[in-house]
Amino acid sequence: MTIFVRAFFCALLTTSLACADVPLELPAIVRDAENSRIEAIDRARPSAVSVFVPGGGGGGSGVLVSPAGYALTNFHVTSPAGTFMRCGLSDGNIYDAVIVGIDPVGDLAMIQLIGLDGKPRSDFPAATIGSSRAAQPGDWCMVIGNPFLLATNLQPTVTYGILSGVGRYQYPSGTLLEYGDCLQTDASINPGNSGGPIYDATGKLLGIVGRCSFEKRGRVNVGVGYAISINQAQNFLGALHSGRIVDHATLGATVGTDPDGGARVTNILESSDAYRRGLRYGAEITEIDGRVVQTANDVQNVLATFPAGWRIPIRYRISGESRDTLVRLASVHSPDELLEKMAGALPPPPPREEPEPNDDEGDGEKDLEGGGPTPAPENEAHGGGEIPKSIKDQLIERKGYANYHFNQVRQRSFIESLRNQFPVAESKSTKANDADSPLAWVIEGVTADADAKPVKIRVSSKKMVMFVGDRPVQIDTKNELYEAVTRRSPVGMLAALDAWRRMIAVGPDRFGETFYWGTMPLGGQRPLRDCVIGIDGEIETRFLSHPDSAVVEAIEAFADRDEDPAELWIVRDNDDVTTMPTALDLRYGTATLLKVNVTSWNSIPESELEEEPKS
Protein backbone atom coordinates (compact mmCIF):
# COMPACT_ATOMS: atom_id res chain seq x y z
CA MET A 1 0.00 0.00 0.00
CA THR A 2 2.81 2.40 0.82
CA ILE A 3 4.10 2.49 -2.79
CA PHE A 4 0.64 3.39 -4.11
CA VAL A 5 0.22 6.12 -1.46
CA ARG A 6 3.55 7.71 -2.40
CA ALA A 7 2.72 7.55 -6.11
CA PHE A 8 -0.63 9.19 -5.43
CA PHE A 9 0.84 12.11 -3.52
CA CYS A 10 3.61 12.59 -6.12
CA ALA A 11 1.02 12.75 -8.88
CA LEU A 12 -1.07 15.15 -6.82
CA LEU A 13 1.94 17.42 -6.19
CA THR A 14 2.90 17.43 -9.88
CA THR A 15 -0.65 18.28 -10.91
CA SER A 16 -0.86 21.07 -8.35
CA LEU A 17 2.39 22.67 -9.52
CA ALA A 18 1.37 22.40 -13.14
CA CYS A 19 -2.02 23.95 -12.46
CA ALA A 20 -0.50 26.77 -10.49
CA ASP A 21 2.11 27.29 -13.25
CA VAL A 22 4.75 27.71 -10.53
CA PRO A 23 8.36 26.85 -11.54
CA LEU A 24 10.18 24.42 -9.31
CA GLU A 25 12.78 26.27 -7.21
CA LEU A 26 15.90 24.40 -6.18
CA PRO A 27 17.52 25.27 -2.84
CA ALA A 28 20.35 27.76 -3.28
CA ILE A 29 22.94 25.29 -1.97
CA VAL A 30 21.95 22.74 -4.64
CA ARG A 31 21.90 25.34 -7.39
CA ASP A 32 25.33 26.70 -6.38
CA ALA A 33 26.83 23.22 -6.24
CA GLU A 34 25.53 22.43 -9.73
CA ASN A 35 26.86 25.70 -11.13
CA SER A 36 30.26 25.13 -9.52
CA ARG A 37 30.45 21.66 -11.04
CA ILE A 38 29.55 22.96 -14.50
CA GLU A 39 32.13 25.75 -14.21
CA ALA A 40 34.83 23.30 -13.12
CA ILE A 41 34.06 21.02 -16.08
CA ASP A 42 34.19 23.99 -18.44
CA ARG A 43 37.60 24.98 -17.04
CA ALA A 44 38.98 21.47 -17.30
CA ARG A 45 37.52 20.22 -20.60
CA PRO A 46 39.75 22.26 -22.99
CA SER A 47 42.90 20.56 -21.65
CA ALA A 48 41.59 17.03 -22.22
CA VAL A 49 42.99 15.29 -25.30
CA SER A 50 41.38 12.56 -27.40
CA VAL A 51 44.16 10.41 -28.86
CA PHE A 52 43.68 8.49 -32.12
CA VAL A 53 46.21 6.14 -33.70
CA PRO A 54 46.44 6.87 -37.45
CA GLY A 55 44.99 4.18 -39.67
CA GLY A 56 42.48 2.98 -37.09
CA GLY A 57 44.99 1.28 -34.82
CA GLY A 58 43.46 2.29 -31.50
CA GLY A 59 43.61 5.32 -29.27
CA GLY A 60 42.91 6.68 -25.82
CA SER A 61 43.11 9.95 -23.94
CA GLY A 62 45.63 12.50 -22.73
CA VAL A 63 45.93 15.90 -21.05
CA LEU A 64 47.79 19.07 -21.97
CA VAL A 65 50.28 20.14 -19.29
CA SER A 66 52.00 22.98 -21.16
CA PRO A 67 50.89 25.84 -23.45
CA ALA A 68 53.59 24.60 -25.84
CA GLY A 69 51.40 21.57 -26.55
CA TYR A 70 53.15 19.00 -24.36
CA ALA A 71 50.65 16.42 -23.14
CA LEU A 72 50.78 13.38 -20.88
CA THR A 73 49.18 10.05 -21.66
CA ASN A 74 49.89 6.36 -21.01
CA PHE A 75 52.77 4.41 -22.51
CA HIS A 76 50.29 1.70 -23.41
CA VAL A 77 48.23 4.27 -25.36
CA THR A 78 51.16 5.53 -27.45
CA SER A 79 52.89 2.18 -27.95
CA PRO A 80 50.58 1.05 -30.81
CA ALA A 81 51.15 4.40 -32.56
CA GLY A 82 54.90 4.48 -32.16
CA THR A 83 56.09 7.99 -33.00
CA PHE A 84 53.05 9.74 -34.47
CA MET A 85 49.39 10.15 -33.52
CA ARG A 86 46.47 12.51 -33.99
CA CYS A 87 44.84 14.32 -31.12
CA GLY A 88 41.47 16.03 -30.86
CA LEU A 89 40.63 18.91 -28.54
CA SER A 90 37.24 20.28 -27.56
CA ASP A 91 37.91 23.27 -29.85
CA GLY A 92 36.86 20.91 -32.64
CA ASN A 93 40.28 20.54 -34.25
CA ILE A 94 42.55 17.58 -34.92
CA TYR A 95 46.25 18.16 -34.25
CA ASP A 96 49.22 16.08 -35.29
CA ALA A 97 51.33 14.94 -32.33
CA VAL A 98 54.81 13.49 -32.02
CA ILE A 99 56.21 11.26 -29.30
CA VAL A 100 58.60 13.04 -26.92
CA GLY A 101 59.62 10.66 -24.12
CA ILE A 102 58.32 7.53 -22.44
CA ASP A 103 58.33 5.94 -19.00
CA PRO A 104 57.43 2.31 -19.73
CA VAL A 105 57.73 1.25 -16.07
CA GLY A 106 55.33 3.90 -14.76
CA ASP A 107 53.09 3.72 -17.88
CA LEU A 108 53.60 7.37 -18.79
CA ALA A 109 54.36 9.01 -22.11
CA MET A 110 54.77 12.59 -23.26
CA ILE A 111 53.65 13.80 -26.67
CA GLN A 112 53.66 17.25 -28.26
CA LEU A 113 50.76 18.61 -30.27
CA ILE A 114 51.69 20.67 -33.34
CA GLY A 115 49.71 23.67 -34.57
CA LEU A 116 47.32 23.31 -37.49
CA ASP A 117 49.82 25.16 -39.69
CA GLY A 118 52.48 22.57 -38.91
CA LYS A 119 54.36 24.93 -36.60
CA PRO A 120 54.75 24.90 -32.79
CA ARG A 121 52.18 26.79 -30.74
CA SER A 122 52.51 28.44 -27.35
CA ASP A 123 48.85 28.96 -26.48
CA PHE A 124 47.41 25.49 -26.01
CA PRO A 125 44.93 25.28 -23.08
CA ALA A 126 47.06 23.53 -20.45
CA ALA A 127 45.53 22.07 -17.31
CA THR A 128 45.96 23.73 -13.93
CA ILE A 129 48.08 21.41 -11.81
CA GLY A 130 46.64 20.30 -8.46
CA SER A 131 48.19 18.30 -5.62
CA SER A 132 47.55 14.58 -5.38
CA ARG A 133 49.33 14.59 -2.00
CA ALA A 134 46.51 16.77 -0.62
CA ALA A 135 43.78 14.51 -2.03
CA GLN A 136 41.70 12.48 0.43
CA PRO A 137 39.26 9.57 0.09
CA GLY A 138 35.79 10.96 -0.38
CA ASP A 139 36.88 14.03 -2.36
CA TRP A 140 34.79 14.71 -5.45
CA CYS A 141 36.59 14.19 -8.74
CA MET A 142 35.89 13.95 -12.46
CA VAL A 143 37.38 12.06 -15.39
CA ILE A 144 37.33 13.60 -18.87
CA GLY A 145 38.39 11.53 -21.84
CA ASN A 146 37.68 9.34 -24.81
CA PRO A 147 36.07 6.09 -23.56
CA PHE A 148 35.46 3.57 -26.36
CA LEU A 149 36.82 6.32 -28.65
CA LEU A 150 33.38 7.94 -28.57
CA ALA A 151 34.81 11.46 -28.98
CA THR A 152 34.71 11.30 -32.78
CA ASN A 153 33.03 14.73 -32.64
CA LEU A 154 36.00 15.81 -30.47
CA GLN A 155 33.79 16.54 -27.46
CA PRO A 156 35.16 14.37 -24.62
CA THR A 157 33.08 12.35 -22.18
CA VAL A 158 32.78 13.56 -18.57
CA THR A 159 32.18 11.18 -15.65
CA TYR A 160 31.89 12.18 -12.00
CA GLY A 161 32.55 10.42 -8.74
CA ILE A 162 34.73 10.39 -5.64
CA LEU A 163 38.22 9.34 -4.78
CA SER A 164 37.78 5.91 -3.25
CA GLY A 165 41.37 5.69 -2.03
CA VAL A 166 44.79 7.33 -2.26
CA GLY A 167 48.32 5.97 -2.04
CA ARG A 168 47.37 2.67 -3.69
CA TYR A 169 50.15 0.38 -4.87
CA GLN A 170 49.65 -1.80 -7.95
CA TYR A 171 52.28 -4.49 -8.44
CA PRO A 172 54.05 -4.65 -11.82
CA SER A 173 51.85 -5.93 -14.63
CA GLY A 174 53.75 -8.79 -16.24
CA THR A 175 57.40 -7.87 -15.99
CA LEU A 176 57.40 -4.09 -16.39
CA LEU A 177 54.49 -1.82 -15.46
CA GLU A 178 54.27 -0.62 -11.86
CA TYR A 179 51.71 1.82 -10.45
CA GLY A 180 52.90 3.41 -7.21
CA ASP A 181 51.12 5.85 -4.92
CA CYS A 182 48.16 5.97 -7.30
CA LEU A 183 44.62 7.26 -6.86
CA GLN A 184 41.54 5.02 -6.86
CA THR A 185 38.18 6.35 -8.02
CA ASP A 186 34.62 5.17 -8.64
CA ALA A 187 34.16 7.68 -11.47
CA SER A 188 33.41 5.62 -14.56
CA ILE A 189 36.63 4.68 -16.37
CA ASN A 190 36.40 2.54 -19.46
CA PRO A 191 38.67 1.43 -22.32
CA GLY A 192 39.75 4.61 -24.08
CA ASN A 193 39.92 6.67 -20.88
CA SER A 194 43.49 5.48 -20.36
CA GLY A 195 46.03 8.30 -20.38
CA GLY A 196 43.39 10.93 -19.75
CA PRO A 197 43.03 13.35 -16.86
CA ILE A 198 41.37 13.00 -13.49
CA TYR A 199 40.56 16.39 -11.98
CA ASP A 200 39.50 17.54 -8.53
CA ALA A 201 36.15 19.25 -7.96
CA THR A 202 37.60 22.64 -8.97
CA GLY A 203 39.06 21.39 -12.26
CA LYS A 204 42.69 21.02 -11.16
CA LEU A 205 44.65 18.06 -12.50
CA LEU A 206 45.13 15.25 -9.95
CA GLY A 207 46.51 12.46 -12.09
CA ILE A 208 46.66 10.44 -15.28
CA VAL A 209 44.12 7.63 -15.65
CA GLY A 210 45.71 4.22 -16.09
CA ARG A 211 44.42 0.87 -14.96
CA CYS A 212 40.82 -0.11 -14.35
CA SER A 213 39.01 -3.22 -13.21
CA PHE A 214 36.27 -4.75 -15.36
CA GLU A 215 33.68 -7.49 -15.23
CA LYS A 216 34.83 -10.72 -16.86
CA ARG A 217 33.76 -9.85 -20.41
CA GLY A 218 36.13 -6.88 -20.34
CA ARG A 219 33.42 -4.32 -21.04
CA VAL A 220 31.64 -3.41 -17.80
CA ASN A 221 33.06 -0.83 -15.41
CA VAL A 222 32.72 -1.89 -11.80
CA GLY A 223 33.72 1.39 -10.17
CA VAL A 224 37.37 0.59 -9.50
CA GLY A 225 39.76 2.69 -11.56
CA TYR A 226 43.31 3.85 -10.89
CA ALA A 227 45.22 6.98 -11.85
CA ILE A 228 48.92 7.81 -11.70
CA SER A 229 49.25 10.70 -9.26
CA ILE A 230 50.17 14.09 -10.72
CA ASN A 231 52.91 14.38 -8.10
CA GLN A 232 54.59 11.29 -9.54
CA ALA A 233 54.05 12.56 -13.08
CA GLN A 234 55.71 15.86 -12.16
CA ASN A 235 58.76 13.97 -10.88
CA PHE A 236 59.14 12.51 -14.38
CA LEU A 237 58.32 15.59 -16.49
CA GLY A 238 61.96 16.63 -16.90
CA ALA A 239 63.05 13.12 -17.84
CA LEU A 240 60.20 12.84 -20.35
CA HIS A 241 61.18 16.18 -21.90
CA SER A 242 64.63 14.68 -22.50
CA GLY A 243 63.20 12.34 -25.12
CA ARG A 244 64.69 9.37 -23.29
CA ILE A 245 63.27 6.00 -22.37
CA VAL A 246 63.13 6.51 -18.62
CA ASP A 247 63.67 4.02 -15.80
CA HIS A 248 62.45 4.04 -12.20
CA ALA A 249 64.48 4.04 -8.99
CA THR A 250 65.54 1.44 -6.47
CA LEU A 251 67.14 1.88 -3.07
CA GLY A 252 69.60 -0.95 -3.62
CA ALA A 253 68.09 -2.73 -0.62
CA THR A 254 65.11 -4.96 0.10
CA VAL A 255 62.75 -4.12 2.93
CA GLY A 256 60.33 -6.24 4.95
CA THR A 257 57.61 -5.37 7.42
CA ASP A 258 58.66 -6.17 10.98
CA PRO A 259 56.09 -8.25 12.92
CA ASP A 260 56.23 -5.59 15.62
CA GLY A 261 55.82 -2.81 13.09
CA GLY A 262 58.27 -0.85 10.99
CA ALA A 263 60.00 -1.23 7.61
CA ARG A 264 63.31 -3.02 8.15
CA VAL A 265 66.16 -3.66 5.73
CA THR A 266 66.39 -7.37 4.97
CA ASN A 267 69.19 -7.19 2.39
CA ILE A 268 71.40 -4.47 0.96
CA LEU A 269 73.98 -4.15 -1.80
CA GLU A 270 77.36 -3.04 -0.51
CA SER A 271 77.86 -1.15 -3.78
CA SER A 272 74.72 0.94 -3.21
CA ASP A 273 74.78 4.55 -2.11
CA ALA A 274 72.40 3.59 0.71
CA TYR A 275 75.15 1.34 2.11
CA ARG A 276 77.71 4.15 1.82
CA ARG A 277 75.34 6.39 3.76
CA GLY A 278 75.22 3.94 6.66
CA LEU A 279 72.14 1.86 5.95
CA ARG A 280 72.64 -1.74 7.13
CA TYR A 281 70.77 -5.01 7.58
CA GLY A 282 68.13 -4.58 10.29
CA ALA A 283 67.96 -0.79 10.06
CA GLU A 284 64.43 0.62 10.21
CA ILE A 285 63.51 3.14 7.51
CA THR A 286 61.12 5.72 8.96
CA GLU A 287 60.93 8.47 6.31
CA ILE A 288 61.60 8.82 2.58
CA ASP A 289 61.59 12.29 1.04
CA GLY A 290 59.70 13.62 4.04
CA ARG A 291 57.00 10.93 3.92
CA VAL A 292 56.53 8.60 6.87
CA VAL A 293 56.83 4.90 5.99
CA GLN A 294 55.75 2.09 8.31
CA THR A 295 55.63 -0.98 6.09
CA ALA A 296 57.53 -2.50 3.20
CA ASN A 297 54.57 -1.58 0.99
CA ASP A 298 54.93 2.05 2.07
CA VAL A 299 58.60 2.03 1.09
CA GLN A 300 57.95 0.58 -2.36
CA ASN A 301 54.98 2.88 -2.85
CA VAL A 302 57.13 5.98 -2.36
CA LEU A 303 60.20 4.72 -4.24
CA ALA A 304 58.02 3.90 -7.26
CA THR A 305 57.37 7.63 -7.75
CA PHE A 306 61.04 8.55 -8.40
CA PRO A 307 63.14 8.42 -11.56
CA ALA A 308 66.43 6.54 -11.36
CA GLY A 309 69.36 8.74 -10.37
CA TRP A 310 67.52 11.02 -7.96
CA ARG A 311 69.10 11.88 -4.63
CA ILE A 312 66.54 12.02 -1.85
CA PRO A 313 66.51 12.51 1.94
CA ILE A 314 65.98 9.40 4.04
CA ARG A 315 65.61 8.96 7.79
CA TYR A 316 66.38 5.61 9.36
CA ARG A 317 66.95 4.16 12.81
CA ILE A 318 69.86 1.86 13.62
CA SER A 319 71.07 0.68 17.05
CA GLY A 320 68.44 2.92 18.61
CA GLU A 321 69.82 6.04 16.90
CA SER A 322 67.85 8.03 14.31
CA ARG A 323 69.90 9.32 11.37
CA ASP A 324 69.18 11.61 8.42
CA THR A 325 71.06 11.30 5.16
CA LEU A 326 70.87 11.67 1.40
CA VAL A 327 70.76 8.59 -0.84
CA ARG A 328 71.31 8.37 -4.59
CA LEU A 329 68.79 5.98 -6.08
CA ALA A 330 69.92 3.40 -8.62
CA SER A 331 68.07 2.12 -11.70
CA VAL A 332 65.67 -0.79 -11.47
CA HIS A 333 66.92 -2.07 -14.85
CA SER A 334 70.10 -1.90 -16.85
CA PRO A 335 69.65 0.12 -20.08
CA ASP A 336 69.60 -2.97 -22.30
CA GLU A 337 67.29 -4.83 -19.93
CA LEU A 338 64.81 -1.95 -19.97
CA LEU A 339 64.80 -1.83 -23.76
CA GLU A 340 64.31 -5.57 -23.99
CA LYS A 341 61.40 -5.59 -21.56
CA MET A 342 59.83 -2.56 -23.19
CA ALA A 343 60.00 -4.19 -26.61
CA GLY A 344 58.07 -7.14 -25.25
CA ALA A 345 55.50 -5.02 -23.41
CA LEU A 346 52.01 -4.95 -24.87
CA PRO A 347 49.16 -2.63 -23.93
CA PRO A 348 48.02 -4.19 -20.62
CA PRO A 349 44.54 -5.71 -20.66
CA PRO A 350 42.34 -5.01 -17.63
CA PRO A 351 42.19 -7.61 -14.85
CA ARG A 352 39.45 -10.11 -15.61
CA GLU A 353 38.30 -13.64 -15.02
CA GLU A 354 38.59 -16.40 -17.62
CA PRO A 355 36.72 -15.37 -20.78
CA GLU A 356 33.48 -16.97 -21.76
CA PRO A 357 33.57 -19.42 -24.70
CA ASN A 358 33.09 -17.93 -28.17
CA ASP A 359 33.54 -14.40 -26.90
CA ASP A 360 33.56 -12.56 -30.19
CA GLU A 361 33.41 -9.08 -28.66
CA GLY A 362 37.07 -9.12 -27.61
CA ASP A 363 38.67 -7.11 -24.86
CA GLY A 364 37.73 -3.46 -24.87
CA GLU A 365 41.04 -2.18 -23.56
CA LYS A 366 43.01 -4.13 -26.13
CA ASP A 367 40.72 -3.26 -29.05
CA LEU A 368 40.74 0.46 -28.38
CA GLU A 369 44.24 1.06 -27.05
CA GLY A 370 46.29 -1.80 -28.44
CA GLY A 371 45.03 -2.22 -31.98
CA GLY A 372 41.84 -3.24 -33.70
CA PRO A 373 39.04 -1.19 -35.27
CA THR A 374 38.90 2.45 -34.33
CA PRO A 375 36.32 5.05 -35.39
CA ALA A 376 37.95 7.91 -37.28
CA PRO A 377 37.35 11.50 -36.12
CA GLU A 378 34.68 13.24 -38.12
CA ASN A 379 37.09 15.93 -39.37
CA GLU A 380 40.13 13.69 -39.88
CA ALA A 381 42.87 15.92 -41.33
CA HIS A 382 45.02 13.22 -42.88
CA GLY A 383 44.28 9.84 -44.34
CA GLY A 384 46.05 6.65 -43.32
CA GLY A 385 49.26 6.58 -41.34
CA GLU A 386 51.50 8.82 -43.49
CA ILE A 387 53.72 10.89 -41.20
CA PRO A 388 53.43 14.63 -41.95
CA LYS A 389 56.59 16.66 -42.63
CA SER A 390 56.04 18.70 -39.46
CA ILE A 391 56.41 15.49 -37.47
CA LYS A 392 59.39 14.19 -39.45
CA ASP A 393 61.19 17.47 -38.76
CA GLN A 394 60.93 16.78 -35.02
CA LEU A 395 61.81 13.10 -35.03
CA ILE A 396 65.25 11.54 -34.58
CA GLU A 397 65.59 7.84 -33.78
CA ARG A 398 68.41 6.78 -31.48
CA LYS A 399 68.93 3.82 -29.17
CA GLY A 400 67.72 4.54 -25.66
CA TYR A 401 65.48 7.39 -26.79
CA ALA A 402 61.85 7.71 -27.76
CA ASN A 403 62.84 10.83 -29.74
CA TYR A 404 66.38 12.22 -29.64
CA HIS A 405 65.27 15.49 -31.28
CA PHE A 406 63.99 16.86 -27.99
CA ASN A 407 67.25 16.00 -26.26
CA GLN A 408 69.15 18.01 -28.84
CA VAL A 409 66.86 20.98 -28.24
CA ARG A 410 67.65 20.87 -24.51
CA GLN A 411 71.39 20.52 -25.15
CA ARG A 412 71.38 23.63 -27.33
CA SER A 413 69.53 25.59 -24.68
CA PHE A 414 72.02 24.41 -22.04
CA ILE A 415 75.19 25.42 -23.88
CA GLU A 416 73.73 28.78 -24.88
CA SER A 417 72.94 29.66 -21.27
CA LEU A 418 76.25 28.23 -20.04
CA ARG A 419 78.24 30.48 -22.36
CA ASN A 420 76.37 33.50 -21.04
CA GLN A 421 77.51 32.81 -17.49
CA PHE A 422 80.69 33.95 -15.79
CA PRO A 423 83.56 33.31 -16.35
CA VAL A 424 82.95 32.59 -20.01
CA ALA A 425 82.77 36.03 -21.61
CA GLU A 426 86.27 35.92 -23.04
CA SER A 427 85.81 32.30 -24.14
CA LYS A 428 83.57 33.43 -26.99
CA SER A 429 86.75 34.09 -28.94
CA THR A 430 87.43 30.37 -29.05
CA LYS A 431 88.08 29.13 -32.57
CA ALA A 432 85.36 26.76 -33.77
CA ASN A 433 87.86 24.15 -34.96
CA ASP A 434 90.01 24.08 -31.80
CA ALA A 435 89.94 20.85 -29.80
CA ASP A 436 90.08 22.85 -26.59
CA SER A 437 89.82 26.46 -25.59
CA PRO A 438 93.02 28.49 -26.00
CA LEU A 439 92.02 30.22 -22.79
CA ALA A 440 92.85 29.07 -19.29
CA TRP A 441 91.14 29.79 -15.99
CA VAL A 442 93.12 31.35 -13.18
CA ILE A 443 91.30 31.25 -9.85
CA GLU A 444 92.54 32.58 -6.52
CA GLY A 445 91.06 32.53 -3.05
CA VAL A 446 91.46 31.32 0.52
CA THR A 447 90.18 28.24 2.33
CA ALA A 448 87.02 28.81 4.35
CA ASP A 449 88.42 27.47 7.62
CA ALA A 450 90.29 28.77 10.64
CA ASP A 451 93.67 28.50 8.88
CA ALA A 452 92.52 30.45 5.78
CA LYS A 453 95.26 29.10 3.53
CA PRO A 454 95.76 30.75 0.14
CA VAL A 455 94.49 28.77 -2.86
CA LYS A 456 95.64 29.11 -6.47
CA ILE A 457 94.11 27.11 -9.32
CA ARG A 458 95.21 26.97 -12.96
CA VAL A 459 92.99 25.07 -15.40
CA SER A 460 93.86 24.68 -19.09
CA SER A 461 93.74 22.10 -21.86
CA LYS A 462 97.38 21.17 -21.30
CA LYS A 463 97.65 20.89 -17.53
CA MET A 464 95.99 21.73 -14.24
CA VAL A 465 97.72 22.98 -11.11
CA MET A 466 96.29 23.51 -7.66
CA PHE A 467 98.01 25.18 -4.68
CA VAL A 468 96.57 24.88 -1.20
CA GLY A 469 99.03 26.83 0.90
CA ASP A 470 102.52 26.37 -0.53
CA ARG A 471 102.03 22.83 -1.78
CA PRO A 472 101.33 22.51 -5.52
CA VAL A 473 99.70 19.50 -7.18
CA GLN A 474 99.92 19.25 -10.96
CA ILE A 475 97.62 17.11 -13.14
CA ASP A 476 98.86 16.25 -16.62
CA THR A 477 96.53 13.41 -17.70
CA LYS A 478 92.87 12.48 -17.44
CA ASN A 479 93.90 9.30 -15.65
CA GLU A 480 95.35 11.44 -12.85
CA LEU A 481 92.03 13.26 -12.59
CA TYR A 482 90.24 9.92 -12.39
CA GLU A 483 92.53 8.76 -9.58
CA ALA A 484 92.09 12.05 -7.70
CA VAL A 485 88.30 11.61 -7.64
CA THR A 486 88.62 7.94 -6.68
CA ARG A 487 90.89 8.90 -3.75
CA ARG A 488 88.37 11.56 -2.65
CA SER A 489 91.19 14.08 -2.96
CA PRO A 490 90.78 17.89 -2.81
CA VAL A 491 92.28 17.81 -6.31
CA GLY A 492 88.95 16.33 -7.44
CA MET A 493 87.85 19.97 -7.67
CA LEU A 494 89.96 20.20 -10.82
CA ALA A 495 87.92 17.44 -12.51
CA ALA A 496 84.75 19.51 -12.18
CA LEU A 497 86.43 22.79 -13.18
CA ASP A 498 88.11 21.24 -16.22
CA ALA A 499 84.83 19.74 -17.42
CA TRP A 500 83.12 23.12 -16.98
CA ARG A 501 85.82 24.96 -18.91
CA ARG A 502 85.93 22.38 -21.67
CA MET A 503 82.15 22.18 -22.10
CA ILE A 504 82.07 25.95 -22.61
CA ALA A 505 84.94 25.73 -25.11
CA VAL A 506 83.81 22.90 -27.36
CA GLY A 507 80.08 22.42 -26.61
CA PRO A 508 78.06 19.22 -26.21
CA ASP A 509 78.78 17.92 -29.73
CA ARG A 510 82.53 17.64 -29.13
CA PHE A 511 82.78 17.23 -25.37
CA GLY A 512 82.14 13.51 -25.55
CA GLU A 513 78.87 11.60 -25.14
CA THR A 514 76.58 14.36 -23.92
CA PHE A 515 72.85 14.35 -23.26
CA TYR A 516 70.17 16.18 -21.34
CA TRP A 517 69.17 13.84 -18.51
CA GLY A 518 66.08 15.61 -17.16
CA THR A 519 65.48 17.15 -13.74
CA MET A 520 66.49 16.07 -10.25
CA PRO A 521 66.77 17.56 -6.76
CA LEU A 522 70.02 19.25 -5.74
CA GLY A 523 71.13 17.90 -2.39
CA GLY A 524 67.71 16.33 -2.02
CA GLN A 525 66.02 19.73 -2.26
CA ARG A 526 63.59 21.26 -4.73
CA PRO A 527 63.09 23.06 -7.07
CA LEU A 528 64.21 20.35 -9.44
CA ARG A 529 67.38 21.26 -11.33
CA ASP A 530 68.03 20.63 -15.00
CA CYS A 531 70.76 18.03 -15.46
CA VAL A 532 73.08 17.62 -18.44
CA ILE A 533 75.52 14.70 -18.46
CA GLY A 534 78.79 14.69 -20.34
CA ILE A 535 81.10 11.65 -20.52
CA ASP A 536 84.72 12.37 -21.36
CA GLY A 537 86.97 9.35 -21.08
CA GLU A 538 86.37 7.56 -17.78
CA ILE A 539 84.83 10.54 -16.01
CA GLU A 540 81.10 11.26 -16.14
CA THR A 541 80.21 14.87 -15.36
CA ARG A 542 76.79 16.15 -14.38
CA PHE A 543 75.91 19.84 -14.68
CA LEU A 544 72.97 20.86 -12.47
CA SER A 545 71.33 24.20 -13.34
CA HIS A 546 68.56 26.19 -11.69
CA PRO A 547 65.32 25.85 -13.70
CA ASP A 548 64.59 29.59 -13.71
CA SER A 549 67.97 31.31 -14.09
CA ALA A 550 69.75 28.38 -15.86
CA VAL A 551 72.77 29.13 -13.65
CA VAL A 552 74.98 26.10 -13.00
CA GLU A 553 74.81 25.49 -9.24
CA ALA A 554 76.72 22.22 -8.97
CA ILE A 555 79.00 20.00 -11.04
CA GLU A 556 79.44 16.33 -10.14
CA ALA A 557 82.39 14.34 -11.48
CA PHE A 558 81.97 10.55 -11.27
CA ALA A 559 84.97 8.25 -11.62
CA ASP A 560 82.74 5.27 -10.78
CA ARG A 561 78.96 5.20 -10.37
CA ASP A 562 79.41 2.89 -7.37
CA GLU A 563 81.50 5.51 -5.58
CA ASP A 564 80.85 9.06 -4.38
CA PRO A 565 81.50 11.71 -7.03
CA ALA A 566 83.46 14.89 -6.52
CA GLU A 567 80.67 17.45 -6.08
CA LEU A 568 81.57 21.07 -6.76
CA TRP A 569 78.89 23.40 -5.43
CA ILE A 570 79.16 26.87 -6.97
CA VAL A 571 78.13 29.64 -4.59
CA ARG A 572 77.00 33.10 -5.72
CA ASP A 573 75.81 35.98 -3.54
CA ASN A 574 73.10 37.02 -6.02
CA ASP A 575 71.19 35.89 -9.08
CA ASP A 576 73.31 37.86 -11.56
CA VAL A 577 74.77 35.17 -13.82
CA THR A 578 77.54 37.49 -15.00
CA THR A 579 79.07 37.93 -11.55
CA MET A 580 81.98 35.92 -10.23
CA PRO A 581 81.18 32.92 -7.98
CA THR A 582 82.01 33.81 -4.39
CA ALA A 583 82.86 30.28 -3.24
CA LEU A 584 83.63 26.77 -4.50
CA ASP A 585 82.49 24.01 -2.15
CA LEU A 586 83.92 20.53 -2.81
CA ARG A 587 81.99 17.64 -1.29
CA TYR A 588 82.20 13.86 -1.29
CA GLY A 589 79.13 12.08 -0.01
CA THR A 590 77.36 14.49 2.35
CA ALA A 591 80.39 16.30 3.82
CA THR A 592 82.44 19.26 2.62
CA LEU A 593 86.10 18.42 2.07
CA LEU A 594 87.35 21.79 0.85
CA LYS A 595 85.66 25.18 0.56
CA VAL A 596 87.40 28.04 -1.20
CA ASN A 597 86.28 31.66 -0.90
CA VAL A 598 87.02 33.08 -4.33
CA THR A 599 88.80 36.44 -4.57
CA SER A 600 89.49 36.51 -8.32
CA TRP A 601 88.65 34.48 -11.43
CA ASN A 602 90.16 35.33 -14.81
CA SER A 603 90.41 33.86 -18.29
CA ILE A 604 93.80 34.33 -19.95
CA PRO A 605 95.57 32.84 -22.99
CA GLU A 606 97.20 29.54 -22.18
CA SER A 607 100.50 30.90 -23.49
CA GLU A 608 100.58 33.39 -20.63
CA LEU A 609 100.28 30.74 -17.91
CA GLU A 610 103.23 30.72 -15.55
CA GLU A 611 105.14 27.46 -15.29
CA GLU A 612 104.32 25.77 -12.00
CA PRO A 613 106.58 23.19 -10.35
CA LYS A 614 105.32 19.65 -9.92
CA SER A 615 104.76 18.38 -6.41
CATH of 407-608 among 2.60.40, 3.30.1370, 2.60.120, 2.50.20: 2.50.20
pLDDT at 376 exceeding the cut of 70: no
- What's the rounded mean pLDDT across residues 8-37? 68
What pLDDT is recorded for position 213? 65
What pLDDT is recorded for position 195? 95
CA distance 380 to 374: 13
pLDDT at 510 exceeding the cut of 80: yes
Q: Do domains 42-246+347-399 and 407-608 have the same CATH topology?
A: no
Q: Are strands 513-522 and 471-475 parallel, antiparallel or unpaired?
A: unpaired
Judge contact between 158 and 45, C-beta under 8 A. yes
Q: Residue 239, SS3?
A: helix
> pLDDT, tens digit, for every residue of 58-84?
889 999 999 999 999 999 999 988 899
From the centroid of its chain, how far is CA 143?
Answer: 23
Domain boundaries, the chain: 2-41, 42-246+347-399, 249-331, 407-608
> pLDDT, tens digit, for every residue of 218-247?
556 677 889 999 999 999 999 999 999 999
Burial class of residue 613 (count of CB atoms within 10 Å of its CB; 0-12, 13-18, 19+): exposed
One-letter identity of residue 25: E
- What's the rounded mean pLDDT across residues 496-518? 95
- What's the rounded mean pLDDT across residues 185-199? 93
What pLDDT is recorded for position 74? 95
CA distance 543 to 418: 10
pLDDT at 353 exceeding the cut of 50: no
Judge contact between 321 and 304, C-beta under 8 A. no
pLDDT at 516 exceeding the cut of 80: yes
Q: What class is the 42-246+347-399 domain?
A: mainly beta
Long-range contacts, 170-175 (Cβ 8 Å, 24+): 170/211, 170/226, 172/105, 173/211, 173/348, 174/345, 174/348, 175/341, 175/344, 175/345
Task: Give me the CATH topology for the region 249-331.
Answer: Pdz3 Domain (2.30.42)
pLDDT at 351 exceeding the cut of 80: no
Q: Band of the pLDDT at 561, cuts 50, 70, 90? A: confident
